[in-house]
Amino acid sequence: MRIETHGHQIEVTPALRDYVETKMERLTRHFDRPCELRVQLSIDKPNHKAEGTVSISGRTLHADAGGVDMYAAIDLLADKLDRLLVKQKSKMVDHHRGESPARSASFG
């Protein structure tokens, strides 16, 4: 997974960049194919905001989160992106190999 971290009216310190990379690393367990993640950090006084966009095999998923500090916002963003990827993966599995009445011969 390629992770780009940008700041909007905020300087992204190496500590913030490392924190984003360690938190977003868990997203790689959902897909084997390479994907791209773009994280933008910004401050909307008094809240801190983190936005993330994941590009996977022709799909683009977006989430944003706010918190009292930047680390809390990054944590919330990681949770939201994790849920989005799980939902996307379940859609793909259901679409290709889902249960249907025709396959289980349960027509009455």
How many Å is the maximal CA-CA distance in the chain?
Answer: 64
pLDDT digits (tens, 9 = 90+) for 13-61: 999 999 999 999 888 887 777 788 999 999 988 899 999 999 887 789 9
Distance in Å from the first CA to the final CA of the chain: 48
For residue 33, what are its two tokens? 């194919």
Share of the chain above pLDDT 90, in %: 55
Whether the per-residue pLDDT at 105 is higher than 60: the answer is no
For residue 39, what are its two tokens? 């994280």
Taken in order of first residue, the domains within the chain and their CATH numbers are 2-99 (3.30.160.100)
Nearest-5° Cα angle at 98, 36 to 58? 20
pTM higher than 0.85 = no
Q: How far apart are CA 43 and CA 8, in angstroms?
A: 8
